[in-house]
Structure 1
Amino acid sequence: MTSTPYTVADVMTTKVIAVTPSTGFKDIATAMERWKVTALPVIEGEGRVVGVVSEADLLPKEEFHEHRPGLIEQMLRLGDTAKAGSTRAENMMTTPAVTIRPDATLPQAARLMADRRIKRLPVVDADGTLKGVVSRADLLKVFLRSDEELATEIRRTVVDRLFPLSRESVKVTVTEGIATLTGHVRDGHLIGMADRLARSVEGVVQVRCRLESPASP
Protein backbone atom coordinates (compact mmCIF):
# COMPACT_ATOMS: atom_id res chain seq x y z
CA MET A 1 0.00 0.00 0.00
CA THR A 2 1.05 3.58 -0.57
CA SER A 3 1.29 6.47 1.84
CA THR A 4 -1.63 8.73 2.68
CA PRO A 5 -3.95 9.50 1.01
CA TYR A 6 -4.98 5.99 0.09
CA THR A 7 -7.07 5.50 -3.02
CA VAL A 8 -9.58 2.88 -4.09
CA ALA A 9 -6.85 1.27 -6.21
CA ASP A 10 -4.88 0.51 -3.03
CA VAL A 11 -7.59 -1.63 -1.45
CA MET A 12 -9.86 -2.87 -4.24
CA THR A 13 -10.18 -6.51 -5.29
CA THR A 14 -8.85 -6.98 -8.82
CA LYS A 15 -9.97 -10.58 -9.34
CA VAL A 16 -13.61 -9.87 -10.07
CA ILE A 17 -16.45 -12.24 -10.86
CA ALA A 18 -18.78 -10.65 -13.41
CA VAL A 19 -21.68 -11.73 -15.58
CA THR A 20 -22.95 -10.69 -18.99
CA PRO A 21 -26.40 -9.36 -19.92
CA SER A 22 -27.38 -12.82 -21.18
CA THR A 23 -26.40 -14.68 -17.99
CA GLY A 24 -29.36 -16.60 -16.62
CA PHE A 25 -31.00 -16.26 -13.22
CA LYS A 26 -29.76 -19.57 -11.84
CA ASP A 27 -26.18 -18.95 -12.95
CA ILE A 28 -26.25 -15.55 -11.23
CA ALA A 29 -27.56 -17.04 -7.99
CA THR A 30 -24.99 -19.84 -8.18
CA ALA A 31 -22.12 -17.38 -8.69
CA MET A 32 -23.23 -15.27 -5.72
CA GLU A 33 -23.35 -18.31 -3.48
CA ARG A 34 -20.07 -19.76 -4.71
CA TRP A 35 -18.08 -16.54 -4.37
CA LYS A 36 -19.93 -15.25 -1.30
CA VAL A 37 -20.84 -11.89 -2.81
CA THR A 38 -24.09 -9.94 -2.73
CA ALA A 39 -23.81 -8.27 -6.14
CA LEU A 40 -22.13 -8.83 -9.50
CA PRO A 41 -21.10 -6.34 -12.20
CA VAL A 42 -22.73 -6.89 -15.57
CA ILE A 43 -20.28 -6.34 -18.41
CA GLU A 44 -20.31 -6.44 -22.18
CA GLY A 45 -17.73 -6.18 -24.94
CA GLU A 46 -14.22 -5.66 -23.59
CA GLY A 47 -15.41 -5.35 -20.02
CA ARG A 48 -17.52 -2.19 -20.05
CA VAL A 49 -19.83 -2.11 -17.04
CA VAL A 50 -23.47 -1.73 -18.08
CA GLY A 51 -25.14 -2.55 -14.79
CA VAL A 52 -25.07 -4.41 -11.49
CA VAL A 53 -27.25 -7.32 -10.47
CA SER A 54 -27.68 -7.84 -6.74
CA GLU A 55 -29.50 -10.09 -4.31
CA ALA A 56 -32.19 -7.41 -4.11
CA ASP A 57 -32.71 -7.74 -7.87
CA LEU A 58 -33.19 -11.50 -7.56
CA LEU A 59 -35.43 -11.45 -4.50
CA PRO A 60 -38.70 -10.53 -6.31
CA LYS A 61 -38.53 -13.93 -8.01
CA GLU A 62 -38.99 -15.58 -4.61
CA GLU A 63 -41.32 -12.92 -3.23
CA PHE A 64 -43.85 -13.39 -6.02
CA HIS A 65 -43.30 -17.14 -6.38
CA GLU A 66 -46.61 -18.00 -4.70
CA HIS A 67 -48.17 -14.57 -4.77
CA ARG A 68 -49.63 -13.03 -7.90
CA PRO A 69 -49.76 -9.26 -7.39
CA GLY A 70 -52.98 -7.44 -8.11
CA LEU A 71 -53.25 -4.62 -10.62
CA ILE A 72 -52.64 -1.85 -8.08
CA GLU A 73 -49.61 -3.62 -6.62
CA GLN A 74 -48.23 -4.19 -10.10
CA MET A 75 -48.57 -0.49 -10.86
CA LEU A 76 -46.88 0.50 -7.60
CA ARG A 77 -44.05 -1.99 -8.03
CA LEU A 78 -43.52 -2.18 -11.77
CA GLY A 79 -39.79 -2.70 -11.42
CA ASP A 80 -40.05 -5.56 -8.95
CA THR A 81 -42.82 -7.37 -10.78
CA ALA A 82 -40.87 -7.09 -14.03
CA LYS A 83 -37.79 -8.56 -12.36
CA ALA A 84 -39.88 -11.38 -10.91
CA GLY A 85 -40.77 -12.45 -14.43
CA SER A 86 -37.26 -12.08 -15.82
CA THR A 87 -34.70 -14.80 -16.40
CA ARG A 88 -31.61 -12.91 -17.60
CA ALA A 89 -29.31 -10.32 -16.08
CA GLU A 90 -30.15 -7.65 -18.64
CA ASN A 91 -33.75 -7.55 -17.41
CA MET A 92 -32.96 -7.67 -13.70
CA MET A 93 -29.87 -5.51 -13.32
CA THR A 94 -29.77 -1.99 -11.95
CA THR A 95 -28.62 0.38 -14.65
CA PRO A 96 -26.75 2.62 -14.99
CA ALA A 97 -24.38 1.11 -12.48
CA VAL A 98 -23.06 3.19 -9.59
CA THR A 99 -19.30 3.04 -10.13
CA ILE A 100 -16.14 4.69 -8.89
CA ARG A 101 -12.71 5.45 -10.35
CA PRO A 102 -9.47 3.84 -9.08
CA ASP A 103 -8.02 7.21 -8.06
CA ALA A 104 -10.96 8.11 -5.81
CA THR A 105 -10.11 8.42 -2.13
CA LEU A 106 -11.44 6.03 0.49
CA PRO A 107 -13.66 8.70 2.11
CA GLN A 108 -15.19 9.39 -1.32
CA ALA A 109 -15.95 5.69 -1.76
CA ALA A 110 -17.40 5.44 1.75
CA ARG A 111 -19.66 8.45 1.18
CA LEU A 112 -20.89 7.07 -2.13
CA MET A 113 -21.72 3.72 -0.54
CA ALA A 114 -23.56 5.43 2.30
CA ASP A 115 -25.45 7.83 0.03
CA ARG A 116 -26.56 5.07 -2.35
CA ARG A 117 -26.94 2.42 0.36
CA ILE A 118 -24.82 -0.16 -1.42
CA LYS A 119 -22.14 -2.53 -0.18
CA ARG A 120 -19.92 -2.88 -3.25
CA LEU A 121 -18.81 -0.60 -6.07
CA PRO A 122 -17.45 -1.62 -9.47
CA VAL A 123 -14.20 0.23 -10.11
CA VAL A 124 -13.91 1.46 -13.69
CA ASP A 125 -11.47 3.46 -15.79
CA ALA A 126 -12.29 6.52 -17.90
CA ASP A 127 -13.84 4.30 -20.58
CA GLY A 128 -16.09 2.49 -18.10
CA THR A 129 -14.05 -0.71 -18.28
CA LEU A 130 -14.10 -2.87 -15.16
CA LYS A 131 -10.83 -2.78 -13.20
CA GLY A 132 -11.93 -4.18 -9.87
CA VAL A 133 -14.50 -4.05 -7.10
CA VAL A 134 -14.29 -2.26 -3.78
CA SER A 135 -16.42 -3.33 -0.83
CA ARG A 136 -17.09 -2.01 2.64
CA ALA A 137 -14.67 -4.60 3.99
CA ASP A 138 -11.98 -3.36 1.59
CA LEU A 139 -12.35 0.18 2.91
CA LEU A 140 -11.70 -1.09 6.42
CA LYS A 141 -8.39 -2.73 5.45
CA VAL A 142 -6.53 0.46 6.36
CA PHE A 143 -7.36 -0.20 10.01
CA LEU A 144 -5.25 -3.36 9.82
CA ARG A 145 -2.07 -1.28 9.53
CA SER A 146 0.32 -1.87 12.42
CA ASP A 147 0.79 0.70 15.18
CA GLU A 148 4.45 0.93 14.21
CA GLU A 149 3.59 1.75 10.60
CA LEU A 150 1.13 4.43 11.68
CA ALA A 151 3.63 6.01 14.08
CA THR A 152 6.28 6.11 11.36
CA GLU A 153 3.93 7.81 8.92
CA ILE A 154 2.75 10.38 11.46
CA ARG A 155 6.33 11.25 12.31
CA ARG A 156 7.29 11.57 8.64
CA THR A 157 4.23 13.40 7.33
CA VAL A 158 3.32 15.48 10.38
CA VAL A 159 6.18 15.99 12.82
CA ASP A 160 9.06 16.21 10.34
CA ARG A 161 7.04 18.46 8.04
CA LEU A 162 5.62 20.90 10.58
CA PHE A 163 8.24 20.90 13.31
CA PRO A 164 11.66 20.31 11.71
CA LEU A 165 13.40 22.28 14.46
CA SER A 166 11.55 20.57 17.31
CA ARG A 167 11.13 17.05 16.00
CA GLU A 168 13.62 15.51 18.41
CA SER A 169 11.49 16.66 21.34
CA VAL A 170 8.23 15.28 19.93
CA LYS A 171 7.19 11.76 20.84
CA VAL A 172 4.70 9.82 18.72
CA THR A 173 3.14 6.65 20.10
CA VAL A 174 0.33 4.57 18.64
CA THR A 175 -1.56 1.94 20.60
CA GLU A 176 -4.39 0.00 18.97
CA GLY A 177 -4.68 2.71 16.34
CA ILE A 178 -4.88 5.58 18.85
CA ALA A 179 -2.09 8.07 18.19
CA THR A 180 -0.66 10.27 20.93
CA LEU A 181 1.64 13.22 20.23
CA THR A 182 3.51 14.70 23.19
CA GLY A 183 6.38 17.13 23.63
CA HIS A 184 7.28 20.77 23.18
CA VAL A 185 7.41 22.57 19.83
CA ARG A 186 8.47 26.07 18.84
CA ASP A 187 5.64 26.75 16.40
CA GLY A 188 2.61 26.60 18.65
CA HIS A 189 0.29 27.95 15.95
CA LEU A 190 0.82 24.71 14.01
CA ILE A 191 -0.38 22.38 16.76
CA GLY A 192 -3.96 22.45 15.48
CA MET A 193 -2.77 21.56 11.99
CA ALA A 194 -0.69 18.71 13.41
CA ASP A 195 -3.80 17.30 15.03
CA ARG A 196 -5.75 17.47 11.76
CA LEU A 197 -2.97 15.93 9.69
CA ALA A 198 -2.52 13.07 12.14
CA ARG A 199 -6.24 12.34 11.98
CA SER A 200 -6.05 12.20 8.18
CA VAL A 201 -3.56 9.32 8.23
CA GLU A 202 -5.43 6.26 6.97
CA GLY A 203 -5.81 3.67 9.70
CA VAL A 204 -5.68 6.06 12.65
CA VAL A 205 -8.62 5.47 14.97
CA GLN A 206 -8.20 8.53 17.19
CA VAL A 207 -5.64 11.26 17.92
CA ARG A 208 -4.63 12.68 21.28
CA CYS A 209 -2.57 15.76 20.53
CA ARG A 210 -0.80 16.88 23.69
CA LEU A 211 1.85 19.06 22.12
CA GLU A 212 2.83 22.22 23.96
CA SER A 213 4.70 25.38 23.09
CA PRO A 214 5.86 28.50 24.94
CA ALA A 215 2.77 30.27 23.58
CA SER A 216 0.37 27.51 24.65
CA PRO A 217 -2.03 28.46 27.49
Structure 2
Amino acid sequence: MHVKVKDVMTTEVASVNGSTPFKDVAEVLIAHGVSAVPVVDGEGHVLGIVSEADLLHKEEFRERYYHEGYQPPLRARLRHRLSPKSGDGREKARGDTAAELMTAPAITVRPHVSIVTAMRLMEEHGVKRLVVVDDEEILQGIVSRIDLLKVFLRSDLDIAEEVREEILEHSLWALPHNATVTVAHGIVTLAGRMHRRGDAQLAARLARRVNGVVDVIDQLEWDTDDTTAWRGR
Protein backbone atom coordinates (compact mmCIF):
# COMPACT_ATOMS: atom_id res chain seq x y z
CA MET A 1 0.00 0.00 0.00
CA HIS A 2 1.55 3.29 -1.09
CA VAL A 3 0.02 5.94 1.14
CA LYS A 4 -0.63 9.30 -0.48
CA VAL A 5 -0.99 12.73 1.07
CA LYS A 6 -4.73 12.60 0.39
CA ASP A 7 -5.00 9.53 2.63
CA VAL A 8 -3.73 11.31 5.75
CA MET A 9 -4.29 15.06 5.23
CA THR A 10 -6.77 17.19 7.14
CA THR A 11 -9.48 18.40 4.77
CA GLU A 12 -11.48 20.65 7.09
CA VAL A 13 -9.07 23.57 7.12
CA ALA A 14 -9.56 27.01 8.61
CA SER A 15 -8.31 29.79 6.33
CA VAL A 16 -8.20 33.57 6.18
CA ASN A 17 -8.03 36.13 3.39
CA GLY A 18 -5.39 38.75 2.83
CA SER A 19 -7.38 41.53 4.52
CA THR A 20 -8.09 39.58 7.72
CA PRO A 21 -6.88 41.73 10.67
CA PHE A 22 -4.09 40.60 13.00
CA LYS A 23 -6.39 39.93 15.95
CA ASP A 24 -8.85 37.95 13.82
CA VAL A 25 -6.01 35.74 12.55
CA ALA A 26 -4.99 35.09 16.16
CA GLU A 27 -8.58 34.23 17.07
CA VAL A 28 -8.81 31.73 14.19
CA LEU A 29 -5.60 30.00 15.33
CA ILE A 30 -6.83 29.76 18.92
CA ALA A 31 -10.42 28.79 18.08
CA HIS A 32 -9.32 25.92 15.80
CA GLY A 33 -6.36 24.82 17.90
CA VAL A 34 -3.90 25.11 15.00
CA SER A 35 -0.50 26.73 14.65
CA ALA A 36 -0.94 28.08 11.11
CA VAL A 37 -3.64 28.96 8.58
CA PRO A 38 -3.48 29.35 4.79
CA VAL A 39 -4.23 32.72 3.26
CA VAL A 40 -6.52 32.41 0.24
CA ASP A 41 -8.18 34.68 -2.29
CA GLY A 42 -11.88 34.79 -3.08
CA GLU A 43 -11.67 31.66 -5.25
CA GLY A 44 -9.68 29.58 -2.78
CA HIS A 45 -6.25 29.99 -4.40
CA VAL A 46 -3.49 29.79 -1.80
CA LEU A 47 -1.53 33.03 -1.47
CA GLY A 48 0.59 32.18 1.56
CA ILE A 49 0.44 30.93 5.13
CA VAL A 50 0.37 32.67 8.51
CA SER A 51 1.78 30.85 11.52
CA GLU A 52 1.79 31.66 15.19
CA ALA A 53 5.49 32.47 14.78
CA ASP A 54 4.57 35.20 12.27
CA LEU A 55 2.24 36.78 14.83
CA LEU A 56 4.78 36.56 17.64
CA HIS A 57 7.18 38.81 15.75
CA LYS A 58 4.97 41.62 17.07
CA GLU A 59 6.11 40.78 20.60
CA GLU A 60 9.72 40.03 19.70
CA PHE A 61 10.21 43.50 18.24
CA ARG A 62 7.95 45.37 20.66
CA GLU A 63 10.87 47.23 22.25
CA ARG A 64 12.09 48.44 18.88
CA TYR A 65 8.73 49.59 17.53
CA TYR A 66 6.58 50.31 20.58
CA HIS A 67 9.20 51.18 23.24
CA GLU A 68 7.40 49.22 25.96
CA GLY A 69 10.54 47.94 27.64
CA TYR A 70 10.39 44.44 26.13
CA GLN A 71 13.73 42.86 25.26
CA PRO A 72 13.65 39.71 23.05
CA PRO A 73 15.61 36.72 24.42
CA LEU A 74 19.25 36.54 23.35
CA ARG A 75 18.57 33.43 21.27
CA ALA A 76 15.84 35.24 19.33
CA ARG A 77 18.04 38.28 18.75
CA LEU A 78 20.92 36.17 17.49
CA ARG A 79 18.62 34.12 15.24
CA HIS A 80 17.24 37.22 13.56
CA ARG A 81 20.65 38.87 13.31
CA LEU A 82 22.29 35.85 11.65
CA SER A 83 19.39 34.79 9.47
CA PRO A 84 19.49 35.84 5.78
CA LYS A 85 15.78 36.61 6.21
CA SER A 86 16.28 38.72 9.33
CA GLY A 87 14.48 41.62 7.71
CA ASP A 88 11.31 39.56 7.33
CA GLY A 89 10.68 39.50 11.08
CA ARG A 90 10.97 43.24 11.40
CA GLU A 91 8.57 43.77 8.52
CA LYS A 92 6.08 41.28 9.95
CA ALA A 93 6.27 43.02 13.31
CA ARG A 94 4.68 46.00 11.59
CA GLY A 95 2.03 43.88 9.88
CA ASP A 96 -1.65 44.41 10.64
CA THR A 97 -3.29 42.05 8.13
CA ALA A 98 -2.80 38.48 7.01
CA ALA A 99 -1.29 39.66 3.71
CA GLU A 100 1.37 41.61 5.61
CA LEU A 101 2.03 38.80 8.08
CA MET A 102 2.03 35.75 5.82
CA THR A 103 4.94 33.80 4.47
CA ALA A 104 4.65 33.62 0.70
CA PRO A 105 4.66 31.58 -1.33
CA ALA A 106 3.45 28.75 0.88
CA ILE A 107 5.19 25.39 0.55
CA THR A 108 2.55 23.28 -1.20
CA VAL A 109 2.05 19.68 -2.22
CA ARG A 110 -0.44 17.81 -4.40
CA PRO A 111 -2.90 15.28 -2.87
CA HIS A 112 -1.62 12.36 -5.00
CA VAL A 113 2.01 12.72 -3.86
CA SER A 114 3.41 9.98 -1.63
CA ILE A 115 3.89 10.70 2.06
CA VAL A 116 7.60 9.95 1.63
CA THR A 117 7.84 12.85 -0.83
CA ALA A 118 5.91 15.04 1.60
CA MET A 119 8.32 14.13 4.42
CA ARG A 120 11.31 15.03 2.24
CA LEU A 121 9.70 18.33 1.24
CA MET A 122 9.14 19.25 4.89
CA GLU A 123 12.74 18.39 5.71
CA GLU A 124 14.09 20.31 2.72
CA HIS A 125 12.22 23.50 3.63
CA GLY A 126 12.37 23.10 7.41
CA VAL A 127 8.59 23.32 7.87
CA LYS A 128 6.15 21.40 10.06
CA ARG A 129 3.24 21.39 7.64
CA LEU A 130 2.44 21.58 3.93
CA VAL A 131 -0.55 23.21 2.26
CA VAL A 132 -2.28 20.74 -0.04
CA VAL A 133 -3.53 22.22 -3.31
CA ASP A 134 -4.92 20.90 -6.57
CA ASP A 135 -3.51 21.63 -10.04
CA GLU A 136 -5.19 25.06 -9.96
CA GLU A 137 -3.48 25.93 -6.64
CA ILE A 138 -6.85 25.81 -4.85
CA LEU A 139 -6.76 24.79 -1.19
CA GLN A 140 -7.57 21.12 -0.56
CA GLY A 141 -6.22 20.60 2.93
CA ILE A 142 -3.23 20.63 5.27
CA VAL A 143 -0.79 17.81 5.97
CA SER A 144 1.32 18.05 9.12
CA ARG A 145 4.02 15.94 10.71
CA ILE A 146 1.44 14.36 12.99
CA ASP A 147 -0.65 13.42 9.94
CA LEU A 148 2.32 11.65 8.39
CA LEU A 149 2.74 9.61 11.56
CA LYS A 150 -0.71 8.09 10.97
CA VAL A 151 0.90 5.58 8.63
CA PHE A 152 2.48 3.89 11.65
CA LEU A 153 -1.00 3.10 12.96
CA ARG A 154 -1.33 0.50 10.23
CA SER A 155 -2.08 -2.96 11.63
CA ASP A 156 0.58 -5.68 11.85
CA LEU A 157 -1.71 -7.98 9.89
CA ASP A 158 -1.99 -5.51 7.03
CA ILE A 159 1.77 -4.98 6.91
CA ALA A 160 2.48 -8.73 6.95
CA GLU A 161 0.02 -9.31 4.13
CA GLU A 162 1.67 -6.69 1.92
CA VAL A 163 5.20 -7.98 2.56
CA ARG A 164 4.09 -11.54 1.85
CA GLU A 165 2.06 -10.83 -1.29
CA GLU A 166 3.92 -7.90 -2.85
CA ILE A 167 7.50 -8.85 -1.98
CA LEU A 168 7.85 -12.55 -1.22
CA GLU A 169 5.27 -13.86 -3.70
CA HIS A 170 4.85 -11.39 -6.55
CA SER A 171 8.12 -9.52 -6.74
CA LEU A 172 11.39 -10.82 -8.18
CA TRP A 173 11.48 -14.35 -6.86
CA ALA A 174 11.50 -16.71 -9.86
CA LEU A 175 13.17 -19.43 -7.80
CA PRO A 176 11.31 -21.30 -5.04
CA HIS A 177 11.91 -20.32 -1.42
CA ASN A 178 10.42 -20.91 2.00
CA ALA A 179 10.79 -17.39 3.39
CA THR A 180 8.24 -16.32 6.00
CA VAL A 181 7.18 -12.99 7.47
CA THR A 182 5.85 -12.08 10.90
CA VAL A 183 5.09 -8.60 12.21
CA ALA A 184 4.84 -7.36 15.79
CA HIS A 185 4.35 -3.68 16.69
CA GLY A 186 5.39 -2.69 13.16
CA ILE A 187 8.65 -4.65 13.33
CA VAL A 188 8.96 -7.12 10.45
CA THR A 189 10.86 -10.38 10.92
CA LEU A 190 11.92 -12.23 7.78
CA ALA A 191 12.95 -15.85 8.33
CA GLY A 192 13.41 -19.05 6.31
CA ARG A 193 15.61 -19.67 3.33
CA MET A 194 16.06 -18.29 -0.18
CA HIS A 195 18.14 -19.61 -3.05
CA ARG A 196 20.39 -16.55 -3.47
CA ARG A 197 21.88 -14.19 -0.91
CA GLY A 198 21.18 -11.24 -3.20
CA ASP A 199 17.47 -12.07 -3.21
CA ALA A 200 17.43 -12.26 0.59
CA GLN A 201 19.10 -8.88 0.91
CA LEU A 202 16.72 -7.32 -1.61
CA ALA A 203 13.70 -8.72 0.24
CA ALA A 204 14.86 -7.04 3.44
CA ARG A 205 15.44 -3.72 1.68
CA LEU A 206 12.02 -3.78 0.04
CA ALA A 207 10.34 -4.65 3.34
CA ARG A 208 11.85 -1.54 4.94
CA ARG A 209 10.10 0.58 2.31
CA VAL A 210 6.63 -0.69 3.14
CA ASN A 211 4.46 2.00 4.73
CA GLY A 212 4.07 1.48 8.46
CA VAL A 213 7.21 -0.61 8.94
CA VAL A 214 9.18 0.49 12.00
CA ASP A 215 12.14 -1.86 11.51
CA VAL A 216 13.13 -5.13 9.79
CA ILE A 217 14.85 -8.07 11.46
CA ASP A 218 16.58 -10.06 8.74
CA GLN A 219 16.95 -13.74 9.69
CA LEU A 220 16.93 -15.04 6.12
CA GLU A 221 19.41 -17.72 5.10
CA TRP A 222 20.49 -18.61 1.57
CA ASP A 223 21.96 -21.44 -0.50
CA THR A 224 24.20 -19.50 -2.88
CA ASP A 225 26.22 -16.37 -2.16
CA ASP A 226 25.91 -14.51 -5.44
CA THR A 227 27.18 -11.23 -3.95
CA THR A 228 30.84 -12.28 -4.05
CA ALA A 229 31.06 -11.41 -7.75
CA TRP A 230 29.47 -8.00 -7.09
CA ARG A 231 32.02 -7.12 -4.41
CA GLY A 232 34.87 -8.18 -6.69
CA ARG A 233 33.91 -5.71 -9.40
Query: Is the TM value for this pair above 0.5?
Result: yes
What amino acid is aligned across from residue 45 of structure 2 in structure 1?
A: R
Task: From 86, 103, 120, give the equivalent of 2:112.
Answer: 103
Whether the 8 Å contact between 1:49 and 1:128 is mirrored in structure 2 is yes
Does the residue aligned with 1:29 lie in a helix, a strand or coil? helix
Whether the 8 Å contact between 1:123 and 1:131 is mirrored in structure 2 is yes
Q: Which residues in structure 2 correspond to 1:1-80 (within 5 Å)?
A: 3=1, 5-68=2-65, 77-80=86-89
Identity of paired residues, percent?
45
What amino acid is aligned across from residue 197 of structure 1 in structure 2?
A: L
Pair 1:133-2:142 in alignment: yes
Question: Shift in Å at residue 35 of structure 1?
Answer: 1.5
Does the residue aligned with 2:136 lie in a helix, a strand or coil? coil
Q: For 1:43-86, what per-residue CA distance to the aligned partner results, in whole angstroms no more than 9, with x for missing partners?
A: 1122110100111111111223344389xx99x95422222222
CA distance in 1, matches of 2:148, 2:15: 21
CA distance in 1, matches of 2:142, 2:30: 17
Q: Which residues in structure 2 correspond to 1:202-213 (within 5 Å)?
A: 202-213=211-222
Question: Shift in Å at residue 212 of structure 1?
Answer: 2.0
CA distance in 2, matches of 1:79, 1:150: 46
Question: Shift in Å at residue 165 of structure 1?
Answer: 5.7
Match of 1:150 in 2: 159
Q: For 1:15-52, what per-residue CA distance to the aligned partner results, in whole angstroms no more than 9, with x for missing partners?
A: 11111111111111111112121111101122110100
Q: For 1:168-209, what per-residue CA distance to the aligned partner results, in whole angstroms no more than 9, with x for missing partners?
A: x22211111110111122354322221111011011011112
CA distance in 2, matches of 1:171, 1:79: 56
CA distance in 2, matches of 1:213, 1:79: 59
Does the residue aligned with 2:62 lie in a helix, a strand or coil? coil
Match of 1:121 in 2: 130
What amino acid is aligned across from residue 114 of structure 1 in structure 2?
A: E
Provide the TM-score with structure 2 as the length reference.
Answer: 0.82
CA distance in 2, matches of 1:33, 1:69: 25
Task: From 86, 90, 95, give the equivalent of 2:99.
Answer: 90
Q: How many residues align?
A: 210
Task: From 207, 211, 214, give the equivalent of 1:198.
Answer: 207
What amino acid is aligned across from residue 150 of structure 2 in structure 1?
A: K
Pair 1:185-2:194 in alignment: yes
Change (3 A) 1:150 1:92: same
Whether the 8 Å contact between 2:196 and 2:225 is mirrored in structure 1 is no
Question: Which segment is superposed worse, 104-113 or 132-141?
Answer: 104-113
Unmatched 5+ stretches in structure 2: 68-79, 227-233
What amino acid is aligned across from residue 47 of structure 1 in structure 2?
A: G
Match of 1:171 in 2: 180
Question: Which segment is superposed worse, 57-66 or 84-93?
Answer: 57-66
Unmatched 5+ stretches in structure 1: none
What amino acid is aligned across from residue 48 of structure 1 in structure 2?
A: H
